[in-house]
């Protein structure tokens, strides 16, 4: 989620999920979603019987920090974004006949998201 903008990060504490094995909880195939919302959304979901766990907040550090009990992990979003886009670029080169893969790759750091709500 943090790849969409520059200097965007998050602080997560997944200890509330009650799973000691951090790798198991981070890479499980159980269905779940993570999204940012306010308290009214949390209440609406709970009213419908959907389990909600507040696991973190967004930050402007450009770093994702994850805590699970005594385990801690920290990831530089810009570095991971570079790895992700490099891999995507290499695949895009093989699939795109019009040589636009290089243009897209050269431009990805120049497109932070901006929002304007009425």
Over residues 31-45, mean pLDDT: 84
Determine the pLDDT at residue 83.
Answer: 92
Cβ(112)–Cβ(60) under 8 Å? Answer: no
Confidence of residue 31 (pLDDT cuts 50, 70, 90): confident
- The pTM of this model reads 0.75
With 70 as the cut, is the pLDDT of residue 104 above it? yes
Rounded Cα distance, 63 and 2, in Å: 9
Q: Does 9 score more than 90 pLDDT?
A: yes
How many residues does this entry show for the chain?
118
């Amino acid at each position: 989620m943090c790849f969409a903008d520059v200097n965007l990060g998050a602080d997560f504490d997944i200890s509330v999920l009650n799973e000691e094995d951090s790798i198991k909880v981070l890479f499980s195939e159980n269905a779940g979603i993570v999204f940012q919302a306010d308290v009214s959304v949390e209440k609406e979901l709970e009213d419908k019987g959907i389990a909600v766990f507040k696991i973190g907040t967004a930050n402007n550090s450009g770093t994702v920090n994850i805590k699970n009990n005594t385990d801690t992990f920290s990831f530089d979003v810009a570095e991971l974004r570079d790895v992700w886009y490099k891999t995507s670029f290499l695949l895009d080169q093989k699939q795109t006949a019009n040589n636009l893969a290089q243009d897209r790759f050269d431009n990805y750091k120049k497109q932070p998201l901006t929002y304007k709500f009425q």
